């Protein structure tokens, strides 16, 4: 069941989401050659602690860390390990969730390590972020969930990339994963009617190759089956009377 949020609740979700946005801004400084995913983890925990928040991922279904840090062919749920050291040209996707005063924010960004990125990877990053923006643009009351998925999918596939099917966006705010599911693919005019008060995490996960996935032996890290590179961008939004409002932006 979809839980519509009051304006007061949306403000509280936004507060949590802005802590996530601050985390992502801070950890970008560690997307450099020789730094590790664990450097990002420690920096994120420092921000969350200073803001009086609680990591939303740690302990969720047994996940052991504050961040998910996924590199290159890792799509999501990568562990932020010391041994995961970044190299020039890596694509590093960071996903973070924060609980603050009982409300939750959840957002993700992909970063490039260093100044070099091949043309295909550059386009992958650009199209994934653009697809997020396209999805947000149509997240308005009176449209349908399929309109979001169609907008994302069209943007991604027109560049020759693939949207991940097995993992999707979701409602967010009181729980980390709420109804409805928000696929990154779909048909215009299909699915649930979008209503004022919905709070959604829209999150294109995009592969430069095929969208088939597998999970590594750690039980968490999800990689592309063909080992093609992936990117991931995510914002929390609220559907307001005058259109979508991005909550997870500084």
**CATH code: domain of residue 221:** 3.90.230.10
- What is the reported pTM? 0.96
125-181 pLDDT, tens digit per residue, is 999 999 999 999 999 999 999 999 999 999 999 999 999 999 999 999 999 999 999
Q: Are 168 and 181 in contact (CB under 8 A)?
A: yes
Strand bridging mode 54-55 / 91-100:
antiparallel
Predicted pLDDT at 7: 98
Q: At which residue do the structure tokens 């005019």 appear?
A: 189
Is 177 within any annotated ligand binding site? yes
Enclosing domain of residue 155 = 7-246
Is 147 within any annotated ligand binding site? no
Q: Which of 76, 246, 102 is CA-nearest to residue 173?
A: 102
Is 210 within any annotated ligand binding site? no
DSSP string, 84-119: -B--TT-EEEEEEEEEETTEEEEEEEEEESSS---H
Is 106 within any annotated ligand binding site? yes
Is 74 within any annotated ligand binding site? no
Would residue 1 count as lying in a domain?
A: no
DSSP string, 123-183: HHHHHHHHHHHHHHHT--BTBBHHHHHHHHHHHHHTTT-EE-SSS-EEE-SSSSSEEEEE-
Is 203 within any annotated ligand binding site? yes
Would residue 58 count as lying in a domain?
A: yes
Would residue 85 count as lying in a domain?
A: yes
Domain count, the chain: 1
């Amino acid at each position: 069941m979809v839980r519509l949020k009051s304006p007061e609740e949306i403000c509280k979700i936004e507060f949590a989401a802005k802590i996530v946005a601050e985390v992502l801004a801070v950890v970008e400084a560690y997307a450099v050659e020789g730094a590790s995913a664990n450097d990002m983890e420690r920096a994120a925990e420092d921000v969350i602690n200073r803001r009086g928040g609680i990591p939303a991922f740690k302990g969720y279904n047994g996940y052991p860390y504050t961040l998910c840090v996924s590199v290159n062919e890792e799509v999501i749920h990568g562990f932020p390990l010391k041994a995961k050291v970044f190299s020039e040209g890596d694509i590093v996707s960071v996903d973070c969730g924060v609980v603050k005063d009982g409300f939750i924010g959840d957002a993700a960004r992909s970063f490039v390590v260093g100044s070099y990125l091949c043309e295909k990877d550059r386009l992958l990053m650009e199209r994934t972020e653009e697809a997020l923006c396209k999805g947000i643009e149509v997240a308005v009351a009176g449209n349908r969930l399929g309109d979001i998925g169609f907008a994302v999918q069209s943007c991604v596939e027109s560049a020759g990339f693939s949207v991940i099917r097995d993992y999707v966006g979701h409602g967010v705010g009181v729980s980390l994963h709420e109804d409805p599911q928000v696929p990154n693919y779909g048909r215009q005019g299909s699915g649930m009617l979008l209503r004022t008060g919905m709070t959604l995490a829209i999150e294109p996960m995009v592969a430069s190759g095929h969208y088939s996935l597998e999970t590594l032996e750690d039980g968490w890290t999800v990689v592309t089956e063909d080992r093609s590179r992936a990117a991931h961008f995510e914002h929390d939004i609220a559907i307001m009377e005058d259109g979508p409002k991005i909550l997870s932006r500084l």
